[in-house]
Amino acid sequence: MTDFGIDKALKTLGVKAINKGTSTGLNNFSNGNVIESFSPVDGQLIGKVETTTHADYEKVMDAATSAFKAWRIMPAPQRGEIVRQFGEKLREKKEALGKLVSYEMGKSYQEGLGEVQEMIDICDFAVGLSRQLHGLTMHSERPGHRMYEQYHSLGVVGIISAFNFPVAVWAWNTALAWICGDVCIWKPSEKTPICGIACQNIAAEVFTENNLPEGISCLINGDYKVGEFVTKDVRVPLISATGSTRMGKIVAQEVAARLGKSLLELGGNNAIIVTPDADIKMTVIGAVFGAVGTAGQRCTSTRRLIIHDSIYNQVKNAITDAYKQLRIGNPLDENNHVGPLIDTDAVKMYETALEKVIEEGGNIIVEGAVLSGEGYESGCYVKPAIAEAKSHFKIVQHETFAPVLYLLKYTGDVENAIDIQNEVAQGLSSAIMTNNLREAERFLSVSGSDCGIANVNIGTSGAEIGGAFGGEKETGGGRESGSDAWKVYMRRQTNTINYTTELPLAQGIKFDL
Ligand code: UN1
């Protein structure tokens, strides 16, 4: 795969044939098993990464805890300056990193660039935030007393990220954690370890250039057992985990068992409601991008379209026509819309979903297929499919990480569509397409969408970093990136100061000696 400039990108990012998968920034070490990363684009080996042993992990933890002591006393705006420099390096390496994301994960090059742009955006956001880590002041009930709250750095933050956003989700966490004065230990998905190596190299450059202690940015690699090193470690006060609901439930229990904090961003089963007042053209663009973008492997991907029966056929025909235009192939070729799934296991899950929807009485209107032949040798390319289904089907209630879109029909009022939308266990993203103000506001009201994200006349995916990102129910309840998501990376302290010569007690209690 030299034609798309992958070799050059790997060189720019300091990726080698065999990479040490354990890093404290300046020191890279490892001697564990080797993960081989094969590209879903062409099935070629991209590189190998040595995994982290428990002994290595202890070295990482020592470096992280000692780095934390120095980092937390550096003024937050100075930490912001380091994050600014990190954002600058990302700008310089945007094309190379975007290309690697596309090659290792399989999303289109445009989406790979978009993912790096999210990293840059969160850095800019964090730089500004580094001067705004403010608490409230409140009035004391006692005379001559002052009360306020302040936010202090928390400690070592463990980040577990998924293959589908192999670089951006790490940056959402690190950029905020760093300005908050925390240090990070990152375990990327074992399906995209090379992206982890590339990011760690970029971060290490910045920390080295600024003579900062090793251990502010740490990397560990391996499967869930390596993840357990951090989730079960009392020295890690916060675990931020992105991935499946199944994984999140395990992580939540491990972290809760030691009373740690967890920030969970798990599965979604996102729907777009299409009302009789929808703009059909906008609906088609939003729905198609939402369903087939990243080959349906975003946690925000559109999985269900809930369409009013009066416009059902019109929408169905428009979407079916749009699917005919889709070009599936090498995601580094900008003429293609849809790249491969991450691996052949994902292909099996896609095939199972299509079998199940038929079994349950669904009607496939855009046939799926696993593609083979020239350009499809990796065995990971599939055709985006559409099925007419019913909301109660088990497969419709389930999140399948693949480009399978279910069309559901509703009748009567928008409330009926909202009921269907809320009928699933997950609660990440949701959208309504309508030009009717009443419908839009009902969808956004307290009895409307139960998701963490609710959009009007926008699809379910592609959220901006400035908002808090995350969802309810089985999505895990966490919020990452924008708004006040930074607060979870800090510990809050309430301070009361008495500047009198008396010691009055609160609640009017008398205690005379
Ligand atoms: C994810 O799929 O885990 O909203 C994150 C979006 C992206 C992030 C998705 N900004 O689609």
The domains of the chain are located at 2-266+476-493, 270-464
Output the pLDDT for position 31: 79
Distance from the alpha carbon of residue 336 to the mean position of ligand 1, in angstroms: 21
Structure-token match 């379209």, residue found = 305
Nearest-5° angle of CA 214, CA 220, CA 223? 175
359-385 in b/e form (b: 16+ CB < 10 A) is: eeebeebbebebbeeeebebbbbbbbb
298 lines ligand 1 (CB under 6 A): yes
In the reported structure, the alpha carbon of residue 70 is separated from the centroid of ligand 1 by a whole-number distance in angstroms of: 33
Give the whole-angstrom CA distance, residue 487 versus residue 291: 33
What pLDDT does residue 512 have?
84
Nearest CA to ligand 1 atom 3: 299
Q: How far away, in angstroms, is 301 Cα from ligand 1 center?
A: 8
Tell me the CA–centroid distance for residue 481 and ligand 1, in Å. Answer: 11
Backbone angles phi, psi at 309, to 5 degrees: -60, -25
Q: What does CATH list as the number for 2-266+476-493? A: 3.40.605.10
What is the Å distance from ligand 1's center to 442 Cα? Answer: 25
CA of 496 to the centre of ligand 1 (A): 41
Q: How far apart are CA 432 and CA 457, in angstroms?
A: 6
Picking from 139, 133, 232, 237, the residue whose alpha carbon sits closest to that of residue 180 is 133
Assigned superfamily of 270-464: Aldehyde Dehydrogenase; Chain A, domain 2 (3.40.309.10)
Residues 6+ away with beta carbon under 8 Å from 405: 287, 291, 296, 302, 303, 304, 305, 319, 384, 385, 386, 387
Q: Is 299 close to ligand 1, i.e. is its CB under 6 Å away?
A: yes
Helix %, strand %, coil % of the chain (to 5): 40, 20, 40
- State if residue 119 touches ligand 1 by the CB under 6 angstroms criterion: no
Task: Report the C-alpha gap between 40 and 43 in whole angstroms.
Answer: 5
Ligand 1 centroid–CA 408 distance in Å is 24
pLDDT the model gives residue 1: 53
N-term to C-term CA, the chain: 83
pLDDT of 432-473, one tens digit each? Answer: 999 999 999 999 999 999 999 999 999 999 999 999 999 999
Q: Is the CB of 462 under 6 A from ligand 1?
A: yes
Q: Is the CB of 461 under 6 A from ligand 1?
A: yes
CB of 187 closer than 8 Å to CB of 218:
no
Cα-to-centroid distance, 303 and ligand 1 (Å): 14
Q: Which atom of ligand 1 is nearest to the CA of 464?
A: 10
One-letter amino acid identity for 147?
M
Protein residue whose Cα sits closest to atom 6 of ligand 1 = 462
Tell me the best of 195, 269, 298 to mutate to test the pocket of ligand 1, counting ligand atoms within 8 Å of each CB and taking the most.
298
- CB of 337 sitting under 6 A from ligand 1: no
Q: How far apart are CA 13 and CA 200, in angstroms?
A: 10
Q: Is 265 a catalytic residue?
A: yes
Which residue of the set 115, 214, 254, 265 is catalytic? 265
Residues 363 and 406 sit within 8 Å (Cβ to Cβ): no
The stretches in the chain having pLDDT less than 70 are: 1-2
Contacts 24+ apart (CB under 8 A), 365-371: 365/316, 365/320, 365/407, 366/320, 366/323, 368/404, 371/328
pTM of the predicted model as reported, rounded to 2 decimal places? 0.97
Q: Given this model, what pLDDT does residue 335 score?
A: 96
Residue with the smallest CA separation from ligand 1 atom 7 is 462
**Ligand 1 near 266 CB (within 6 A):** no
Residues 6+ apart with CB under 8 A from 496: 140, 145, 146, 147
Using the atom order of ligand 1, give the atom closest to the CA of residue 299. Answer: 2
Please check whether residue 71 is in contact with residue 79, taking contact to mean a CB–CB distance below 8 angstroms.
yes
What whole-number distance in Å separates Cα of residue 113 and Cα of residue 119? 10
Task: Quote the pLDDT of residue 2.
Answer: 47
Q: Which residues contact 355 (CB under 8 A, 6 or more apart)?
A: none
28-57 pLDDT, tens digit each: 888 789 999 999 999 999 999 999 999 999
Query: What is the spatial distance between Cα 266 and Cα 428, in angstroms, rounded to a whole number?
Result: 8
Q: Which two tokens stand for residue 468?
A: 């808090």
What letter does residue 93 receive in the DSSP assignment?
A: T
Find residue 147's DSSP bridge partners: 138, 496
Pocket probe for ligand 1: among 101, 107, 244, 299, the residue whose CB has the most ligand atoms within 8 Å is 299
Choose the residue to mutate in 116, 163, 165, 481 for probing ligand 1, maximizing ligand atoms within 8 Å of C-beta.
Answer: 165
Total count of residues recorded for the chain: 513
With a 6 Å cutoff on the Cβ, whether 165 touches ligand 1 is: yes
**Ligand 1 close to Cβ of residue 276 (< 6 A):** no
CB of 300 closer than 6 angstroms to any ligand 1 atom: yes
